[in-house]
Amino acid sequence: MADLKNKTVLITGASRGIGAAAAYEFASLGAKVVLAARSADQIKSIADNIATKGGKAIAITCDVSNASDVADMVTKTVETFGTLDVLINNAGIIDPIGKMNGMDVDAWGNLIDINLKGVFYGIHAALPHMKKGGTIITIGSGAATYPLEGWAHYCASKAAVHQLNACLDVEERANGIRALVLSPGTVATDMQVAIKDSGVNSVSALDWSDHIPADWPAKAMVWMCGAEADPWLGQVISLRDDNIRRNVGLID
């Protein structure tokens, strides 16, 4: 496992779900955590809770679809903690779920702004502060390669993110950048509630017990920061894979 003590970890979409679980997991290992999201009160509450347990954490309000917001977020991170060692591009949405022939074009564009452009903005802002290397993890999805009714915008955004990661690896591996995608599978978060409520496609029919807990992807991302994950640089690590689950220590 990577030594994360005093490393600076910036997590987008950190107000709940996978992002919040990751903040607690990295903080428990001694990392300095930056929680970023649009929900100011929620990320401040999590940061305060980490601090009461002896951890180091700050909250920065940020809309990842706004390039200036993202640049400011990275600047504040480095000003506060001096470095940026790990960037986790976790922020993402799936709403509105619906077929392309009835989709609102502005809503479609908003998802692309968050799920794809927001990832690029994070990478673009982080790289100048990672001259000595660093790890950039992006949350992907099996939907990148598996078309689903009502999810065209989400599937397209995740397919693009997977390729963006591969290109980042091609361009920056020689400069010490470790670029990885985590495809977590279905996770017991608020997003799954929205999917269930939609009643669209096979994923909405899954039982809540079919979803993994949010701390599984959080633990996987910690593992991904270490050398054991180096064989997957530039690739997608699927948490559906039992071998990966064993490597992370989630199953025997």
Distance in angstroms (rounded) separating the CA atoms of residues 4 and 14: 18
Question: Is 3 a domain residue?
Answer: no
How many Å apart are CA 79 and CA 23, to the nearest integer?
Answer: 19
Please report whether residue 2 resides in a domain: no
Catalytic: which of 24, 121, 146, 154? 154
144-174 pLDDT, tens digit per residue, is: 999 999 999 999 999 999 999 999 999 999 9
Cα–Cα distance measured from residue 204 to residue 233, given in angstroms and rounded to the nearest whole number: 32
Here the tokens at position 195 are 């999917």
Q: Which residues 6+ apart lie within 8 Å of 99 measured at CB?
A: 149, 150, 152
Cut 0.85: pTM above it: yes
139 lies in some domain = yes
Check if 121 is active-site.
no
pLDDT digits (tens, 9 = 90+) for 92-146: 999 999 999 999 999 999 999 999 999 999 999 999 999 999 999 999 999 999 9
pLDDT value of residue 1: 72
Query: Is 30 part of any domain?
Result: yes
Domain that holds residue 244: 8-248
Are 89 and 12 in contact by the 8 Å Cβ rule? The answer is: yes
Tell me, what CATH number does 188's domain have? 3.40.50.720
Number of domains in the chain: 1
Q: Is 199 contained in some domain?
A: yes
